[in-house]
Amino acid sequence: MRKKTATSQENPLIEAIADELGKDVKTEADVSNLLNQLLKRIVEKSLNIEMTAHLGYEKNEPVGHNSGNSRNGSYPKTLKSSNGEFEIDVPRDRNASFEPVLVEKGQRRFTAFDKQILACYARGMSTRDISATFEEMYGAKVSHSVISQVTEAVLEEVTGWQSRPLEEVYPIVYLDGLVVKVHEGKFVTNKCIYIALGVNMEGKKELLGLWIAKNEGAKFWLGVLTELQSRGVKDILLACVDGLTGFPEAIEAVFPQSIVQLCIVHLVRNSLKYVSSKHRKQVAEALKRIYQSKTIDEAQKELTQLSEVWDGLYPTISRLWSTHWARIIPLFEFPEEIRKVIYTTNAIESLNATIRKAIRNRRIFPNDQSAIKTVYLAVQNAAKRWTMPIPNWGQALNRFAIQFEGRVPL
């Protein structure tokens, strides 16, 4: 006869279930099966309690005949756990108004650690780090394969997210690319993750999509923009891009009315990489005087002055700004309210910093899906903070309505 521990004496229900289900446990597979049977009983019991709370009366109570709603049997559902798959019976009601909380509609996995694993993964922790953290904090050994299974389930979510309908009009869309290293056969190759970050009519940031390809190019961006159009986007008022050759033409081919603005944050960052640390603050101030000028003429004078002062040491900077001047000056056609939104909102840079932090510990990804999965989770983690409109949005939206008359839905 098995000796009862203090834990089992304190939990006789668990002991009784274990005795009933565990009579023929001989192998590791039997243990997994036992745990899943326990989970099945616990989950089904909890769902039936939820149903009772939803209906407001116990099963078979007379009051149920006059309540306007009643139990209507159940339907089978297969869940995945860390120990494999198990099937549950989900109760349903005649009015189809029951929304389970423990196992939500569409949920396919059930494990206590999934959310914690995904949170750690989104913050850039490797599978090895996550495994060590769980063992240290919870005394639970979570294998690398289980962590991979949990994160792999995200790819199904990504597929639905990537094809979701979008709004018809976005006042601002930032288009950018990040380079990652990915295994391809026996070789490691550089690939670009394409990012489309929008600012919607409420002034809130919204990631429109993620894509991956070998190199950042205008031809691929053309496909991205066409996909955005097919998902419902009819107009982009202002597209902020980097200096990629052919990029503006690709945007104008799909959204001919869009104004293409070279991203000031990108331009400043690219300029400062040529500057030594002792001069960086001074050059940054000179660049700020250019893009914060009131008029195009004033900006041109500031660029000329920067050239006179710094060309001796850093001639590349003024050349860079002069080369892209035609895509910089649209900024000066906008009133101050819109300009502040464009050059003081480091929306894309803030997002890029979050993504870089997440991929830092994964120097080389095993495949494209792994790279997309990591970036997606990092973005979803960052998006939890995107609950408020960007600063001065109300004023900016008024100006957008005037500047782009007839194109801003009221």
Contact criterion met (CB below 8 Å) for 216 and 191: no
pLDDT in tens, 300-319: 999 999 999 999 999 999 99
The confidence score (pLDDT) of residue 111 equals 61
The confidence score (pLDDT) of residue 76 equals 92
Looking at residue 294, its amino acid is K
Contact criterion met (CB below 8 Å) for 66 and 57: no
Taking the C-alpha atoms of residue 364 and residue 361, their distance in angstroms, rounded to an integer, is 9
Nearest Cα neighbor of 148 from 379, 320, 366 is 366
Angle at 392 between CA 197 and CA 164, to 5 degrees: 25
Largest CA distance in the chain: 93
The confidence score (pLDDT) of residue 201 equals 94
The confidence score (pLDDT) of residue 6 equals 42
The confidence score (pLDDT) of residue 32 equals 66
* Burial state string for 231-240 with b = 16 or more CB within 10 A and e = fewer than 16: eebebbbbbb
Q: Where are the alpha helices (DSSP H) in 65-126?
A: 114-122
The confidence score (pLDDT) of residue 335 equals 84
Those residues with Cβ within 8 angstroms of residue 18's Cβ, 6 or more apart along the chain or in another chain: 8, 34, 38
The confidence score (pLDDT) of residue 246 equals 75
The confidence score (pLDDT) of residue 224 equals 92
Domain ranges of the chain: 1-104, 169-403
- Evaluate if pTM is beyond 0.75: no
Residues of the chain with pLDDT under 50: 1-10, 13, 345
Residue with tokens 């326990």: 38
Main-chain phi, psi angles of 202, to 5 degrees? -85, 0
